[in-house]
């Protein structure tokens, strides 16, 4: 997008605040109950924000931009809003899943389940980075790769619906 480091720092701050706000909000919305009922909607919101982010990045253009010039165009604001929505939904998505992980099994296997989850998450992160690198090397643009990565959450929606029924 041609943005300066100041714009990137603003995006990181917005993303961090969004994750925190989503994490707090889901606790209040669920009133302390452990439930995955909001995870599907949050996953859908993440996917939609990722698609809109792809469109917004394309509309920003690649000319060099400081904070003032980046936000002088509507597309710059869309990028910020999309990143914030993505982060908010990410907090709403992940906190209940971790709560289920921490409470679903018996106390004797809880630490093993959390450790296994961390190992699996790490493997998926490495696979995602390698896949994204291969896709970019093959000629797909970074915005498209990010959008496709964001859409992968849609693959989890059937499992989330099954988890909520259980």
DSSP codes, 128-159 = HHHHHHHHHHTT--HHHHHHHHHHGGGGGHHH
Q: What digits encode the pLDDT tens for the residues 67-115?
A: 988 888 888 999 999 999 999 999 999 999 999 988 887 888 888 989 9
- What residue numbers bound the domain in which 37 lies? 5-165
Q: In the structure encoding, which two tokens stand for residue 12, read together?
A: 């990181």
Spell out a b/e string for 112-142, using b for 16 or more CB atoms within 10 Å of the CB, else e.
eeeeeeeeeeeeeeeeeeeebeebeeeeeee
Q: What digits encode the pLDDT tens for the residues 136-153?
A: 999 998 888 888 888 888
Least confident range from 19-28, 99-108, 120-129: namely 99-108
CATH number at residue 157: 1.20.1250.20
Instruction: List residues bridging with 65 in a β-sheet.
Output: 3
Total of domains in the chain = 1
Average pLDDT along the chain = 90
pTM for the complete prediction?
A: 0.84
Which of 151, 46, 148, 149 is closest to 97 using CA atoms? 46
């Amino acid at each position: 997008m041609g943005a300066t480091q100041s714009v990137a720092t603003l995006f990181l701050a917005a993303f961090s605040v969004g994750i925190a706000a989503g994490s707090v909000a889901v606790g209040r919305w669920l009133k302390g109950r452990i439930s995955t009922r909001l995870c599907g909607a949050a996953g859908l919101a993440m996917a939609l924000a990722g698609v809109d982010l792809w469109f917004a990045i394309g509309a920003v253009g690649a000319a060099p931009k400081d904070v003032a010039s980046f936000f002088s165009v509507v597309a710059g604001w869309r990028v910020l809003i999309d990143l914030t929505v993505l982060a908010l939904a990410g907090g709403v998505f992940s906190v209940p899943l971790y709560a289920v992980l921490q409470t679903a099994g018996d106390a004797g296997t809880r630490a093993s389940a959390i450790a296994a989850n961390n190992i699996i998450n790490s493997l998926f992160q490495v696979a995602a980075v390698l896949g994204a690198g291969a896709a970019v090397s093959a000629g797909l643009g970074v915005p498209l790769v990010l959008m496709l990565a964001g859409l992968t959450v849609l693959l989890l929606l059937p499992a989330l619906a099954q988890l909520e029924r259980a």
